[in-house]
Copies of this chain bind each other. A is one copy, B any other.
Amino acid sequence: MATQREPVDIGDIVAAQERLQGYAVRTPLVESARINDMAGRRVLIKPECLQRTGSFKFRGAWNRISQLDDETAARGVVAYSSGNHAQGVAAAAALRGAPAVIVMPADTPEVKKANTRWLGAEVIEYDRASGDRAAIAAEIAGKRGAVIVPPFDDADVIAGQGTVGLEIAEDVERMGVQADAVVVPAGGGGLIAGVSVAVGARLGPVKVYSAEPEGFDDHARSLASGQRVSNQRLSGSICDALLSPEPGELTFAITCKRLAGGLVVSDAEAGHAMAAAFSHLKLVAEPGGAVALAAVLEGRLEGRGPVVVVVSGGNVDADLYRKLLQR
């Protein structure tokens, strides 16, 4: 009996890494003695807030869009996104010379909308509670003959995000660190799916955990129950990057077999982690980008061994940031 091939394998991620060479920032692992002390263990931070466009999303977008042929690229790309994928697609499309239309919730942080427009994309807003963003995007794509770049449920996008995991594996091996776990923020699950394939292939038995905000813990509950379950709410957390209603079909086909479990933090805990990243790492993290760090700082993960934490983005409005630093 033949083993069924996974939607994304390590070869896809290595190929993505080659495409990203010279386009994406090769982010380092950074560390703070203060953070280690607060967490009671060694914490290596993968700061994807330093990535082009301020989040990991450029990786997947570029891996997908750089492969379009010229004729297809000329018709353009369409994406729906809570903001970070929007910027990643806008930047990748601009580099590829492709027009981009992005469908975004009206309540997206201003910094994300402004940057997406600045990068040359056309932004179409919709109401997060009542609109169907996938349907809106599909209609636009149909009219223009444009390609939809999905935010997570796409093999090329997952492989691109997986380069985060490949870099983590390269760096912990070089440093001679035996990591117990890798903790990754999860929205639709593209990043954590790709990371789990990469570290599974390169680091063997390391455990991978999702981190999510309270009320939007669809990965934690889906992993526990073995099937995709949805969140009851569609909005209501400061972690705007992580409000996908449920894990993706493709991403969950990967993560259900590979993840050790899901960790959950409150909005306040995410805010504290942002303040810790400011004080001790000199990194600007956005709320959704800080949930994995929050989970480790709050002791949600058992054990005392070294862990790797992905800070997945830093696109936060200054007003909210100032408020969170004041607490």
Contact = CB atoms under 8 A, between A and B. Distances in A.
A124 to B, nearest CB: 22
B22 A25 contact: no
A50 B281 contact: yes
A235 interface: no
Contacts of A284: 278, 282-284
A33 B119 contact: yes
A168 to B, nearest CB: 14
Interface in A246-301: 275, 278-285
B25 A30 contact: yes
Copies of the protein in its oligomer: 2
Contacts of A175: 22
A115 B33 CA distance: 10
A49 B22 CA distance: 23
A225 interface: no
Given A282-B314, A283-B284, A318-B325, 12 more contacts: A26-B28, A27-B28, A28-B28, A30-B50, A34-B115, A47-B50, A49-B282, A278-B321, A282-B285, A318-B326, A321-B325, A322-B322
Contacts of A228: none
A41 interface: no
16 contacts: A25-B28, A25-B31, A26-B28, A27-B28, A28-B50, A30-B50, A32-B52, A34-B118, A47-B50, A54-B280, A54-B282, A275-B318, A283-B283, A283-B284, A284-B284, A321-B325
